Structure 1
């Protein structure tokens, strides 16, 4: 029998795998953590649905910011959800939202809430300080 503690631990381990995949750059492996039909409640402009859209987003984002780091500052979990507050850093070295690389760096906060079923993210909500990023890059 699976207990609440087991479910919570499985979800936390899936969240840690997500971080390791992003850090390692093998973005096609995101399908190991996201359900094929994951619902992204806060997609990027033009982002396709499902895990394919998530993978495409991260490929585009890490092309723009190849040194991207997403450091968890706080992680909280219950039976179904994992919430992560992040510190994001990166250097603008490729196209981002139609803007050519500036060579400038940014530091910003972000948050993600994921709902899990059977160890996979089935829904995600998230936000980051996009205005702060754009301001630090000199784009606004």
Structure 2
């Protein structure tokens, strides 16, 4: 499913990749030259590390992982999305034991889309604040 509408490409990524954990969709949606500018250093900016964030960090930690998109804005080939990723904390989250309660991470990201694929990503999220709050309650 290829779309020329960048907002639909981002929506597909959120539904099929983040919520659904679909590796084939991830591979189809990532351009070979993809760069995640939000990664902490250059060695982590490729697509595979973005996949690991969802597949090895978030999905194992959250039961019923869900993405709620609040806003999407399109400017040329860039889509800005304000969303919340949430689920019940039932697995390890960056070394923190599950609390069995709902958790949510607020996210604002910008994705540049070319030919129906993610080419660049910038984002900010509240994961660090969620982790700090969980550590404070241990």
TM-score of the alignment, normalized to the shorter chain, above 0.5: yes
1: CA distance between counterparts of 2:100 and 2:38?
Answer: 27
Name the residue aligned to 1:51. 47
Any conservation in 2 of the 1:92–1:102 contact (CA below 8 Å)?
Answer: yes
Any conservation in 1 of the 2:4–2:115 contact (CA below 8 Å)?
Answer: no
1: CA distance between counterparts of 2:72 and 2:46?
Answer: 24
TM-score computed with the length of structure 1 as normaliser: 0.80
Name the residue aligned to 1:130. 127
Asked whether 1:20 is paired with 2:15, we answer: yes
Name the residue aligned to 1:4. none
Name the residue aligned to 1:31. 27
Any conservation in 2 of the 1:113–1:124 contact (CA below 8 Å)?
Answer: yes
Q: What is the Cα deviation at residue 44 of structure 1? A: 6.4
The structure richer in strand per residue is 2
Structure 1 unmatched runs, 5+: 1-7
Q: What is the Cα deviation at residue 124 of structure 1? A: 0.3
> Matched residue pairs, number?
132
